[in-house]
Chains A and B, each alone.
Chain A
Amino acid sequence: MRVLIADDDRIAATLLAQTLRQWEFDVTVAIDGAAALRHLQDAVATPTLAILDWMMPQLEGADVCRRVRREMPLANMYLMLLTSLESKDRIVEGLEAGADDYLIKPFDPDELRARINVGVRVLTLQDRLAERVKELQAALANVKQLHGLLPICSYCKRIRGDDQYWTAVESYIAERSNAQFSHGICPPCASALEREIEEHRNRRQRG
């Protein structure tokens, strides 16, 4: 799982990065809010957990949250704000800006681990849901191709496609869906065929 750490204090950034690397996360460090936003914009298609310090030069952590939620509403990103104990009263403001969670500095490693696990669970679930939506969209696209008015020959049952060629009904359907055909003879056709063979045999005997 990818984790972005944004903190202008190199001691905090080093501690967070190293702690998360020990837990086998893929860690990137940004030294200010603007760099953090650029990293998140580049990672828009990747589930990302970001730990953003509140007070940073250029763009504060809460501003980064606001921009991400406004500019990338469908991005799968779990945003955590780092705040000092004295700024605890600003937590509501941070959550309203689009943060999913917050941590009080200096972070406690056990609490960090537990909160990161929550983030990973949410990101994984979102990712799975996005995959399911993609599968459903693909299935829906196939179904759509079989919609509409199909010109079919009343005698041979071939279908005329958009390319104006007449195609056997099974090929037509197989190309536009996940259906496969196994060929056989249905009972009414089998009886008719038997009768035809019988008549043919009789004609030959008479002839």
Chain B
Amino acid sequence: MAADPLVVLDVEALERQTGGDAELRAEIVRMFLEDCPQRVDAIDAAIVAGDLASLMSASHALKGSAAYLKAMIVRECAAALEHCAREGQLAEAAAGLGRLRVAVDDLIPQLEKLSRE
């Protein structure tokens, strides 16, 4: 049986994670919207500089936040980048960054919509 395809944002799971607290949900969404562009920039800069340690810490951080937000595709992309950093695969990381940017572009409007609700 094939695994369920990942969703961009699992709102139901996010609801469970925040215990149904709308204020808490709004706060972590706001934090993610603030932090995410910086984290993607840090990943980009680390790949350009060939700095594996920075690539690992930036992608690990993004993976953690995305996992709490239930932003499943961004989480997977960040996990893949962390793996590249661990294995020293810079070329794969550059391709992974492209996939991450697409995933983030899909996620941001959904989070913005959620924060307006």
Contact surface of A with B, Cβ cutoff 8 Å = 8-12, 14-15, 18-19, 22, 55, 84, 86, 105-106, 109
Compute how far the CA of A79 lies from the CA of B19 in the bound complex, rounded to whole angstroms.
24
Interface membership of B45, Cβ < 8 A: no
Give the interface segment out of B26-34, B99-107, B109-117: B26-34
Residues of the A chain whose Cβ atoms lie less than 8 Å from the Cβ of B60: 55, 84
Q: Which of B16, B57, B69, B82 contacts A11 (CB 8 A)?
A: B69
How big is chain B's contact interface, by range? Answer: 20 to 34
Residues of the B chain whose Cβ atoms lie less than 8 Å from the Cβ of A19: 19
Compute how far the CA of A48 lies from the CA of B17 in the bound complex, rounded to whole angstroms.
24
Compute how far the CA of A45 lies from the CA of B65 in the bound complex, rounded to whole angstroms.
34
- Beyond the given A11-B64, A22-B21, could you list 20 further A-B residue pairs with CB under 8 A, ordered by the A residue number? A8-B61, A10-B31, A10-B35, A11-B28, A11-B31, A11-B32, A12-B68, A14-B24, A14-B27, A15-B18, A15-B24, A22-B19, A55-B60, A84-B64, A86-B79, A105-B64, A105-B68, A106-B64, A106-B67, A106-B68
A-contact bits for B5-32, CB 8 A (1 contact / 0 none): 0000000000011110100100110011
- What is the minimal beta-carbon distance from B36 to any residue of chain A, in angstroms? 10
Contact across chains for A109 and B19 when beta carbons are under 8 A apart: yes
Residues of the A chain whose Cβ atoms lie less than 8 Å from the Cβ of B18: 15
- The 5 A-B residue pairs with the shortest CB-CB distance in the complex, in nearest-first order: A106-B67, A11-B65, A106-B68, A18-B24, A11-B28
Residues of the B chain whose Cβ atoms lie less than 8 Å from the Cβ of A55: 57, 60
A-contact bits for B40-68, CB 8 A (1 contact / 0 none): 00000000000000000100110111011
Task: Give 20 CB contacts A-B under 8 Å.
Answer: A9-B64, A9-B65, A10-B35, A11-B32, A11-B68, A12-B64, A12-B68, A14-B27, A15-B28, A18-B24, A18-B27, A22-B21, A55-B57, A84-B60, A84-B63, A105-B67, A106-B17, A106-B67, A106-B68, A109-B17
Contact across chains for B35 and A11 when beta carbons are under 8 A apart: yes
- What is the minimal beta-carbon distance from B2 to any residue of chain A, in angstroms? 21
**Which chain A residue lies CB-closest to B27?**
A14
Compute how far the CA of A106 lies from the CA of B63 in the bound complex, rounded to whole angstroms.
10
Q: Which of A11, A12, A84, A106 has the most CB of B within 10 A?
A: A11
**Which chain A residue lies CB-closest to B79?**
A86
Contact across chains for B16 and A12 when beta carbons are under 8 A apart: no
Contact across chains for A14 and B65 when beta carbons are under 8 A apart: no
Q: Which of A8, A10, A18, A86 contacts B21 (CB 8 A)?
A: A18
Q: Give B73-87 interface residues, CB cut-off 8 Å to A.
A: 79, 82
- What is the minimal beta-carbon distance from A12 to any residue of chain B, in angstroms? 6
- What is the minimal beta-carbon distance from B26 to any residue of chain A, in angstroms? 11
Compute how far the CA of A153 lies from the CA of B24 in the bound complex, rounded to whole angstroms.
78
Residues of the B chain whose Cβ atoms lie less than 8 Å from the Cβ of A106: 17, 64, 67-68
- What is the minimal beta-carbon distance from B43 to any residue of chain A, in angstroms? 15
Q: Which of A9, A19, A84 has the most CB of B within 10 A?
A: A9
**Which chain B residue lies CB-closest to A9?**
B64
Residues of the A chain whose Cβ atoms lie less than 8 Å from the Cβ of B16: 109
